[in-house]
């Protein structure tokens, strides 16, 4: 196959790129295993596999210690245990992962407005127009770590494809910001399997055409690709290798509520002090409601103890509210009624049930390999 010498020799001097869009992809690191390690800290540092136990079970997630033995997602568990006999097998707990996923998604939405959940452990965010997109995503990662103990990797780029591949490039704890051109250079020598949408079968067919790397594919003849894959998929594959992608980020949830919450650096005890800590949250929330022109019938509070046990309490009124006095009064009442019994790590306040907002049912998410 031919590679274009002119393009290869093009000077790679840095240039100012006019990025029309800024898209981030966030992916939690070894999600299922990490949730399990939160509640089984004695397993930290050990090779751990989350998997069922039947004869045809496959690995859903492996800890990084297990990955060192060559264990990977979707591998039959029997094979994983041959590679790493000392691995601890933990059965999956879908309900726990969904709960944790909800917490993480709320944290992302708290910092960036346009979020599309792409799986239990991953989301895209459209950061176009934000002054400091990297800083916003660093805050998201920080909050996820503080709030949930989970680690996340982030990729930022001009489109979803660059963001997705970048988020995977330096896992765990990756944070990679690339232009389209930088992505092409960085992944030029990688296998075409790196590209989302190129599975093992497609890779085999590409290899029959002597196309092995991302760079090979980006320079392949459109005619040749079209002959092999058809008029749609052929050119599409080449565009993937050039990191071209204009798929939009689709917000999956219309705003139906707004909330403010804070995690204390030192756990807070006692109703009087909690009430005091609630006041600035109410103030901030009501300001935001005013700015966005929102009001809602439900006022709620959220309390998380230091062991991450989380409680919510809410009251629904017969009219919409958004003013500081009413929201503050109801939040205080809820706090009094709840009477936290232990030191509190996180306190939140929320107004929901916005007037005029129709809540769309959330997309059913299936458990990914993650």
- Separation of alpha carbons 185 and 230, rounded Å: 27
Q: Dihedral, CA atoms, 316, 320, 326, 328, nearest 10 degrees?
A: 60
Please tell me the distance from the alpha carbon of residue 142 to that of residue 244, in angstroms, as a whole number.
30
Residue whose CB is less far from Mg ion, 127 or 154: 154
Kindly tell me which of 90 and 220 has the beta carbon lying closer to Mg ion.
90
Task: Considering the complex, state which of residue 121 and residue 258 has its C-beta at the smaller distance from Mg ion.
Answer: 121
Q: 28 or 225: whose CB is closer to Mg ion?
A: 28
Binding site for Mg ion (CB under 5 A): 27-28, 31, 121, 370
Nearest to 112 by CA among 124, 98, 102: 124
The catalytically annotated residue of 116, 122, 258, 261 is 122
**Are residues 164 and 196 in contact, defined by beta-carbon separation less than 8 angstroms?**
yes
By beta-carbon proximity to Mg ion, the closer residue of 73 and 295 is 73
Please report how close the Cβ of residue 48 comes to Mg ion at its closest, in angstroms: 15
Q: CB–CB of 260/283 below 8 Å? A: no
Cβ 159 to Mg ion shortest distance, Å: 20
Q: Beta strand 48-51 with 88-90: parallel, antiparallel or unpaired? A: parallel
How far is the C-alpha of 196 from the C-alpha of 189, rounded, in Å?
16
- Least distance in angstroms from the C-beta of 243 to Mg ion: 21
Taking the complex as a whole, how short is the minimal distance between the CB of residue 28 and Mg ion, in angstroms? 5
Contacts of 255 (CB under 8 A, 6+ apart): 292, 294, 354, 357
Cβ at position 33, least distance to Mg ion in Å: 10
Given a contact cutoff of 8 angstroms between Cβ atoms, the answer to whether 140 and 111 are in contact is yes
- Residue 116 a catalytic site member: no
Q: Which residues are catalytic?
A: 122
């Amino acid at each position: 196959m031919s590679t274009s010498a002119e393009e290869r020799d093009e000077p790679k001097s840095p240039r100012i790129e006019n990025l029309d869009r800024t898209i981030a992809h966030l992916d939690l690191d070894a999600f299922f295993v990490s949730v399990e390690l939160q509640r089984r800290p004695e397993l930290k540092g050990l090779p751990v596999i989350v998997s069922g136990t039947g004869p045809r079970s496959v690995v859903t997630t492996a800890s990084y210690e297990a990955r060192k033995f060559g264990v990977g997602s979707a591998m039959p568990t029997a094979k994983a245990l041959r590679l790493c006999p000392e691995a601890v097998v933990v059965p999956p707990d879908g309900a726990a992962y969904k709960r944790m996923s909800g917490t993480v998604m709320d944290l992302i939405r708290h910092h960036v407005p346009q979020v599309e959940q792409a799986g239990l452990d991953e989301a895209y965010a459209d950061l176009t127009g934000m002054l400091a997109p990297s800083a916003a995503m660093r805050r998201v990662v920080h909050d996820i770590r503080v709030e949930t103990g989970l680690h996340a990797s982030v990729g930022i780029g001009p489109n979803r494809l660059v963001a997705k591949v970048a988020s995977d490039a330096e896992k765990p704890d990756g944070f990679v910001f690339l232009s389209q051109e930088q992505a092409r250079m960085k992944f030029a020598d990688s296998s075409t399997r790196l590209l989302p949408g190129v599975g093992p079968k497609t890779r085999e067919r590409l290899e029959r055409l002597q196309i092995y790397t991302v760079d090979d594919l980006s320079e392949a003849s459109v005619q040749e690709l079209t002959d092999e894959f058809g008029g749609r998929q052929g050119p599409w594959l080449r565009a993937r290798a050039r990191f071209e992608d204009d798929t939009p980020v689709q917000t999956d949830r219309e705003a139906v509520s707004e909330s403010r919450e804070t995690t204390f650096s030192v756990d807070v005890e006692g109703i009087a002090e909690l009430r005091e800590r609630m006041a600035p949250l109410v103030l901030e929330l009501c300001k935001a409601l005013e700015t966005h022109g929102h009001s809602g019938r439900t006022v709620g509070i959220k309390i998380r103890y230091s062991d991450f046990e989380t409680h919510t309490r809410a009251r629904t009124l017969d009219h919409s509210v958004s003013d500081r006095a009413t929201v503050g009064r109801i939040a205080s009442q809820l706090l009094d009624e709840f009477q936290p019994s232990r030191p509190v790590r996180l306190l939140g306040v929320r107004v929901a049930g916005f007037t005029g907002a129709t809540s769309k049912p959330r997309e059913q998410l299936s458990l990914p390999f993650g």
